[in-house]
Structure 1
Amino acid sequence: MKDILEQIAEDPASGDTALLQRLFGLLRPRYSDDVEAAAMRLEALAELLEAQPSHADALRERLINMLNQRRPFRLLIDAGILSERGFRLELGRRIRYKLLPPAPNSDSLRDWLDGLLRPGDRQWIAGMDQSLWVRLLAALHFEKLSPEGYDRLQDTITTAIRSLSHRIASGGLNPELLRLDPSLDAHASPFLSQYEEISCFLNRCQEYGVSSDDDAAHALVLLEQCEEALDRVRRRAHVAGISVELTYVSTRLGQEIGRLKQLLHMMEDRPLADKLTTLAGLIVELLSVSESRHDVRALLRTTTGRLANRISQHVAHAGGHYVAENRKELWAIFRAAAGAGPIIAIMALIKILLMSAGMAPLTQTFFVGLNYALGFVVIYMLHFTVATKQPAMTATFMVNTLTRIRGSSTDKRMLGCFIGRVFKSQMMSILGNLLLAFATAVALSYGAAWLLDWHPVSPDEALHLIEELDPFGSLALFYAGVAGIGLFLSGIVSGYYDNKAVYERIAERLARLRGPQRLVGGRIWKRVADYIGDHLGGIAGNVFFGFYLGIVGALGFLTGLPLDIRHIAFSSANFGYAWQALDFALTPKVFLLTTAGVLLIGFMNLMVSFGLAFYVALRAINIPPLAARRQLGRALLGLLVAPVRLIVQRGDLCSEAAAEKVANVQESASK
């Protein structure tokens, strides 16, 4: 470091940045997470500058020359702030730059920093104590800047402040914000008022200089009001729905307001130590965000997180209906699942007939998917349930409940009580689907053979169906996992369209259609529109899952990839059709193996869909990945241990007090 500082001191006015790059390279630790080593090196540099004021003056002059040559203005207003292109254009730009990186601009300070920094530098830069950066800045003695250098820096900051203030005023009139808060569409809007106040403040600064009696206090108050308005919009979005565009705009405005407040603090007449602290925070932030400039995942994480949270809340609300609190509710869940069993058996029979109809592959795929989709929609409209669709709902509800339990109590018995309820509710639902689908399939095939002398399934087809359910001699369990992914995605689709129905005001818009009103009457169409608005998510999720089941198998057939689906309810129905077609002549070994295959398929359906939904719900409420994995592991382990605990404790994991606590927590989580 000393040698580099001496070389800089030989020609401090040079615009060459090679020595600055070498100096920064000496600060970089060998491992990016070695914050202690980086702190020792930064402290050593500060000590050298404090011991040699001439070296500090030379380094300061070299830095100022570099800033003057490379336009820091764009860095101040763009780094760490979403662009004004909008989400779609920004996403497309980042994807293109991932495939083909942009050519660097030699005059851009931001591009120079991109070339200077490496992946992982953010860890040690942001991980160090900020007081070390303040000490380094103090050792450079920026208060000794020449009047010309000071004026150029102040002009840069002033221009950045004006630009950010203008952007905030324009963003405050965005239609997405005004839809949720119409009061912003007025001259008294803080977004507009802050621009006027900041313009007056900067004009006074240029004429008279900054004084303690003429600071930016009023402008900062208006910026705080802007932040309050954004919080108000976000709260209303939980009721009125949310979109990616709204999250993008509100996130960008929040970032711009934060940057503007930092720059205003730099302009205020405050003690030097306070200004250095603000400057150190700004430098660390600018260096830390450089690596995410073209990062697609960072953009998605920043802009879709709130939408994911809102979707998860819709899913959680639906999931609350699938967790029984008492024996009466358990039997209600069983009856709803049992009602779906015969419909599933009919859907399985129609699928078998379609597969043997000799249609073209694309036509066959469409009709198979349509069969599933219509069947699931009918089940939904009749208030029946498909058991394996529950985990994607109950997992999100479970996350909300577990986080409340974790924050409000350390009672392990309370946690066991809740997991036991989830397990028992799920098992009753599975039994309802499984038993009625199997029994209906046997009854239908036996009745058709006896009354109509028609066999829906031939013996050869029956043997093929039995082979497909072999858990060890086929890919049945893998295909069950593929079906579990579809179950998870259907929950996401359902939550997305529930949010969309609220955000787009679907019911009100449908009710305004003239044609349907003339066909069925205004009152009937109003009821239809209200039903669609209230149940759009459920309908869309079931349609998606139906076509998913129909398309995946066809995709595997057309591409030669090992892709297909196995679903416990349809597998039990297929088992029933095959068993009757073989005149109930299966050997005990084959019967038990096939039964085990059906149960293991159900286990894979549940674990995959539950695990994915649980993990996504944890991420949606901003639990770190490591903590999310631990929480997910504990939840899955709890569900696996639940049957053993229920047997050992004779079917009850809940004391009266624990049950009352869980009921209260479930109620608050569903709300």
Structure 2
Amino acid sequence: PPPEPTPSSRVRGDLMDALVLLGVQVTGLGLAEDVRDRTPDMSFRASPFLRLRMVGDAVLARDGAQESLADLLRVVEDCRGVVRTVTQHLEDFGVSVDLVYRLECIQRGLDRMEAIARVLGSPRGEPRWREALALLSDLLRLAHADRSVRALVRRNARLLARKIIERTGNTGEHDITSTQAGFHQMVHSAAGGGLLIAFATALRFFLMGLPLAPFFAGLFVAFNYAGGFVLMQLLGFTLATKQPSMTASTLAAAVGEDTGPDSGPRRMERLAELVPRVTRSQLAAILGNLGCVLPVAVAFALGFQALRGHTFLSQEQARDVVATLHPWKSATLLYAVLTGVLLWMSSVAAGWFENFVVYRRLPEALAHHPVLRALVGVKGARKVADALEHHAAGVGGSITLGVLLAVAPGVGSFFGIPLDVRHVTFSFGALALAGSALGSSAVMEPGFLAAVAGVLGVGIINFGVSFTLALGVALRARDVPVSQGLRFLGAVFLRFLRNPLPFLIPPRDEPAMGGTQAQVVPLAGPPGH
């Protein structure tokens, strides 16, 4: 009878079977239609995934000869190049959780095939045992992860984070200034936002004074908030509190890029260039928002009093506004934390909606829709498509933020929880209206000055909470450990302590990105722009 196979031959046969099986699975995933659609420059016959299947058969036919294994490793590297191309396409034109998951399956399969090929191709003795032990440890680790609830939650959280955050930093409404002219342009844009916020604050007091049922009162307040934010987006104005969530994903990208041995200095160099521009842009937006809310709200209150003969807010309403903004005699700082969470949630909605629009190619569908072309013409349909692509994130996030700010107090009262929102710009506008009603002497009283300090605390908490949440999700989406991200940001903070001026004022000799003329540099424009 034929001799019994030795343990090494049985293991070698199992490894060959696994190699062929992985080749079949990876080939099927790599030749899927949505993968091929994202590599339009590559023909089907030239796909390395097709060659992977044929090379796998050659490895099996030649019983793992060195030449066939070397061919396999070259094809595996070519397949990784396709995965990188598709991943870049997703980051530019919308993310799909399903496709990202299948790309990770392809990457895992290629890694496993490479590990098996190293075992089969290593010389006998210690080199082969070393490769075999590396493969075995990887198998044990992933087998444990497959049975771990924590690992399951972590993987799914990463997929969801990837879907909602990749597009968050790619909105056309949020800019990073690089020159003094861009800084001033941001101030002017934010001043327009402050103008609208001042009137939205006054309209909110008017709506809350109407004898409406709670549902309709909340509905009209939501329309007021959302309408103001949408109008701000369409007019090209800026709301400072929406920027931290958007810039956090850009900072995470700067931290997460490059994994080589000298990646640390490169990442620090990118952060050293990016963070000062981010902080200057944020400062410009804050100055524009608050600097315009105060005079517009006071002018509105004085004009109303001159026309109607009485103040816009009653004395009782004004004192109530001052009391609710007191930093330690009210829960205003806790409400500011809740508002920071709502600001972050609106940025999530903005990124998700833009990703949906871009990934589903809705602008392209609108541009070629026969009914729309018949109504407004070819150029008109193209303009509608471009408007949807440009304003998708801004409008989606604006509507979400307006609804959340209006709904949160009602939801709290429904469950018997005293919830409220404290948005720094609206709070400052309300305090300006209250000061106009109380008179110039009242604004120097300790209670009013404490309310001013409360507004300052609200602003810090709004920005801090929304930025921290957005940065955490962005780091998770880009597989950057939180400790690493905090370490880089800590280094940037030390640099700020040594030389804070570049973080606040753009240097005169700093060139604009992409040219010598003053301009505002977007984080990343929509595809095709």
TM-score by length of 2: 0.83
Measured against aligned partners, the alpha-carbon deviations of 1:406-444 in whole angstroms (never above 9, x if no partner) come to: 6249899x94x8766544443332232223223222322
Tell me whether 1:463 sits opposite 2:319 in the alignment: yes
| Partner Cα distance (2:381, 2:310) in 1 | 43
Contact preservation (8 Å) 1:442, 1:577 = yes
Residues 163 and 184 of structure 1, relative CA distance in 2, 3 Å threshold: farther
* Partner SS, residue 566 of structure 1: coil
Query: Is the 8 Å Cα contact of residues 368 and 550 (structure 1) preserved in structure 2?
Result: yes
Residues 645 and 230 from structure 1, CA distance in 2 versus in 1: closer, same or farther, beyond 3 angstroms? Answer: closer
Show the 5 A alignment for 1:118-129: none
Could you tell me which residue of structure 1 aligns to residue 292 of structure 2?
A: 436
Tell me the alpha carbon deviations over residues 269-303 of structure 1, each in whole angstroms, 9 at most, x when there is no partner.
84343322221111110122233214233313664
Kept after mapping to 2: 8 A contact 1:645/1:653? no
Q: 1:627 aligns with which of 484, 487, 506?
A: 484
Q: 1:153 aligns to what?
A: 11
Q: Which runs of 5+ in 2 are unaligned?
A: 258-262
Residue 566 (structure 1) aligns with: 422
SS of equivalent to 1:564: coil
Letter in 2 for 1:260: M
User: What is residue 78 of structure 2 aligned with on the other side?
Assistant: 225
8 Å contact from structure 1 (residues 194, 223) kept in 2 = yes
In the TM superposition, residue 451 of structure 1 has moved relative to its aligned partner by 1.6
Instruction: Output the CA distance in 1 between the equivalents of 2:494 and 2:466.
Output: 15
Q: 2:209 aligns with which of 349, 356, 362?
A: 356
Partner of 2:396: 540
The whole-number CA distance in structure 2 between the counterparts of 1:238 and 1:146 is 54
1:499 deviates by: 3.8
Say whether residues 1:286 and 2:139 are aligned partners: yes
Query: Are residue 170 (structure 1) and residue 28 (structure 2) matched?
Result: yes
SS at 1:147 equivalent: coil
Shift in Å at residue 245 of structure 1? 1.9
**Superimposed CA distance per residue, residues 541-600 of structure 1 (whole angstroms, 9 cap, x where no aligned partner):** 222211121122222222233532111110111112223333556252233222222222
* Higher deviation after alignment, 164-173 or 559-568: 559-568
The one-character-per-residue Cα deviations of 1:328-385 (angstroms, maximum 9, x if unpaired) are 3332222111112221122112222332334333333333222211110101111111
Paired with 1:469 and 1:276, the residues of 2 have a C-alpha distance of 69
Letter aligned with residue 291 of structure 1: H
Rounded to whole Å, the distance in 2 between the matches of 1:623 and 1:370 is: 39
Q: Which has the larger radius of gyration?
A: 1
CA contact (8 A) 1:418 1:662 kept: no
- In the TM superposition, 1:5-154 aligns within 5 A as 147=5, 149-150=7-8, 152-154=10-12
Match of 1:241 among 94, 103, 113: 94
* Structure 1 position 528 matched with structure 2 position 384: yes
- Give yes or no for the alignment of 1:556 onto 2:412: yes
* Distance verdict in 2 for CA 1:489–1:668, change over 3 Å: closer
Q: Which residue of 1 aligns with 2:52?
A: 194
1:126-161 deviations in Å (ceiling 9; x for gaps): xxxxxxxxxxxxxxxxxxx96264554344334323
Q: Any conservation in 2 of the 1:395–1:614 contact (CA below 8 Å)?
A: yes
Which amino acid in structure 2 is aligned with residue 176 of structure 1? Answer: D
Structure 1 gap segments, 5+ residues each: 1-144
Residue type of the partner of 1:608? V
What's the CA shift for 1:193?
Answer: 2.7
User: Structure 1 residues 631, 555: CA separation in 2 closer, same or farther (over 3 Å shift)?
Assistant: farther
**Alpha carbons 2:247, 2:278 under 8 Å: kept:** yes
Q: Distance in 1 between matches of 2:337 and 2:209?
A: 26
Aligned counterparts of 2:457 and 2:409: Cα–Cα separation in 1: 20
- The amino acid that maps onto 1:250 is L
Q: State the Cα distance separating 1:603 from its structure 2 match.
A: 1.8
Q: Which amino acid aligns with 1:323?
A: T
Please state how far the C-alpha of 1:253 moved relative to its aligned partner. 0.6
Q: Deviations for 1:29-68, whole angstroms, at most 9, x for unmatched residues?
A: xxxxxxxxxxxxxxxxxxxxxxxxxxxxxxxxxxxxxxxx
Aligned to 1:325: 179
Give the secondary-structure state (helix, strand or coil) at the position aligned to 1:181: coil
Matching of residue 340 in structure 1 with residue 196 in structure 2 = no
Superposed, 1:215-614 pairs within 5 Å as 215-268=68-121, 270-293=123-146, 294=148, 295-300=151-156, 303-304=159-160, 307=163, 310-311=166-167, 313-314=169-170, 319=174, 321-326=175-180, 328-398=181-251, 407-408=265-266, 415=272, 422-453=278-309, 456-584=312-440, 586=442, 588=444, 589-614=446-471
CA distance in 1, matches of 2:522, 2:449: 44
CA contact (8 A) 2:176 2:277 kept: no
Whichever residue aligns with residue 377 of structure 1, its letter is V
Name the aligned partner's letter for residue 234 of structure 1: T
Alpha-carbon distance change, 240 to 661 in structure 1, aligned in 2, over 3 angstroms: closer
Contact 2:197 2:228 in 1 (8 A): yes
Q: Which moved more, 1:247-256 or 1:180-189?
A: 180-189
Bigger drift between 165-174 and 403-412 goes to 403-412
Give the structure, 1 or 2, with the largest relative contact order (CA under 8 Å, sep 6 or more): 2
Distance 2:387 2:512 in 1: 34
The aligned counterpart of 1:179 is: 37
Query: In structure 1, how many angstroms separate the alpha carbons of the residues matched to 2:522 and 2:314?
Result: 53
Contact 2:193 2:289 survives alignment (8 Å): yes
C-alpha change, 1:352 and 1:635, in structure 2 (3 Å) is farther
Sort the Cα spacing of 1:379 and 1:218 in 2 relative to 1 into closer, same or farther, 3 A. same
How many residue pairs get aligned? The number is 510
Distance verdict in 2 for CA 1:633–1:361, change over 3 Å: farther
Distance (Å, rounded) in 2 between the aligned partners of 1:445 and 1:669: 38
Deviation track 1:424-480 (CA, whole Å, cap 9, x = no partner) reads 443332232223223222322332333245754333222222211111111111211
The offset of 1:402, in angstroms, is 7.5
Quote the sequence identity (%). 27
RMSD of the alignment, in Å? Answer: 3.7
Q: CA 1:612–1:663 in structure 2 vs 1: closer, same or farther (change >3 Å)?
A: farther
The question of whether the paired residues in 1 share the 8 Å contact of 2:161 and 2:473 is answered with no
CA–CA separation in structure 2 for the residues paired with 1:556 and 1:454: 34
Q: Kindly tell me: are residues 203 and 545 of structure 1, through their superposed partners in 2, closer, same or farther at Cα, counting changes over 3 Å? A: same
Contact 2:55 2:68 in 1 (8 A): no
Take 1:304 and 1:396, find their aligned partners in 2: how far apart are those partners? 14
Equivalent-residue separation in structure 2 for 1:252 and 1:546 (angstroms)? 40
- Letter of the aligned partner of 1:217 in structure 2? A
**TM superposition score normalised by structure 1:** 0.67
Determine if contact 2:364/2:385 at 8 Å carries over to the other structure: yes
User: Aligned in 2, Cα 1:440/1:669: closer, same or farther, shift over 3 Å?
Assistant: closer
Structure 1 residues 388 and 453: CA distance shift in structure 2, 3 A: same
One-letter amino acid of the counterpart of residue 14, structure 2 = T
Asked whether the 8 Å contact 1:216–1:268 carries over to 2, the reply is: yes
Aligned equivalents of 2:120 and 2:500: distance in 1? Answer: 65
